[in-house]
Amino acid sequence: MNSKKFHLKNFGCQMNKLDSGLLFNALSSRGYVHTDKAGEADVIIINTCSVRQHAEDRVLSHLGHIKHLKKTHPALLVAVIGCMAQRLVRNICQNCKAQFKPDYDEITALGLAGYIARDQMLWKGRGCDHCRQTGYYGRTGIFEILPYDTEVKEAIRRNVDLADLRSLVRRKGVRSLMDDGMERVIRGVTTYEEVLRVAGGSID
Ligand SMILES: [Zn+2]
């Protein structure tokens, strides 16, 4: 009997190359043979940990690519191992932090009116010796995570349209990098300039 074949698709950072290596060894030790051709595989594993915006878009569009394989090969197993995007933003310096009222025309022009109310007070660092006059001290991560749960797995197993899969993920309340970052702006952790700098491309 022929060995089962697996195809391991890795995209992302060094860390998940290590994870892929572990999976590769685990499957090999169970008698699976790796193939470079997704079309011949019995199992397709997608390992992703994108550091760009819209982490879930990357994995969902890849699932779209392999959808036709599932049609011609219904027994094919497709697995996704996590999906998270992360960016680092600078924290407002706690030593010189001060409230200010942002210019709402600017907020609107930047496309942030959905996040910041007209009378919302925000915070920024005035600059001090502690932060070397930058107004920032330390960093914090903002995240976007695809919950690869039973409902998402079931949708993939049922081979739903990519558009339906996207709307399912949105309905599940997946927050984008912008959503997560702007919440930290409202809480006075960082500034909208910082969030736009690292996640600006992710505005829908
Ligand atoms: Zn400071």
- Do 100 and 133 fall within a single domain? yes
**Å from CA of 92 to ligand 1 middle:** 8
Top-confidence residue, 19 or 136: 136
Containing domain of residue 127, as a range?
Answer: 87-141+178-202
With tokens 């992710």, the residue in question is 202
Top-confidence residue, 162 or 142: 142
pTM of the shown model: 0.60
Whether pLDDT at 203 is above 50: no
**Å from CA of 53 to ligand 1 middle:** 29
Task: Give tens-digit pLDDT for 52-94.
Answer: 555 566 677 777 777 778 778 888 877 777 666 778 999 999 9
- Do 32 and 69 fall within a single domain? yes
CA distance 13 to 50: 7
- Do 81 and 59 fall within a single domain? yes
Residue 95's pLDDT band, with cuts at 50, 70 and 90, is very high
- The domain total for the chain is 2
How many CA atoms does the CB half-sphere of 51 hold within 13 Å? Answer: 9
**Å from CA of 186 to ligand 1 middle:** 19
DSSP structure string for 121-165: -EEEE---TTTTTSSEEEEEEEEEE----HHHHHHHHTT--HHHH
Q: Which has the closest alpha carbon to 193: 98, 84, 102, 86?
A: 102
Kindly list the protein residues that place their beta carbon closer than 5 angstroms to ligand 1, a single-atom ion: 93, 95-96, 125, 128, 130-131
**Å from CA of 98 to ligand 1 middle:** 10
Residue 48's pLDDT band, with cuts at 50, 70 and 90, is low
DSSP structure string for 49-116: E-SSS-HHHHHHHHHHHHHHHHHH-TT-EEEEE--EEEEEEEEEPTTSEEEE---HHHHHHTT-TTTS
**Å from CA of 41 to ligand 1 middle:** 56
Tell me which amino acid residue 177 is. Answer: L
Task: Give tens-digit pLDDT for 104-124.
Answer: 999 999 999 999 999 999 999
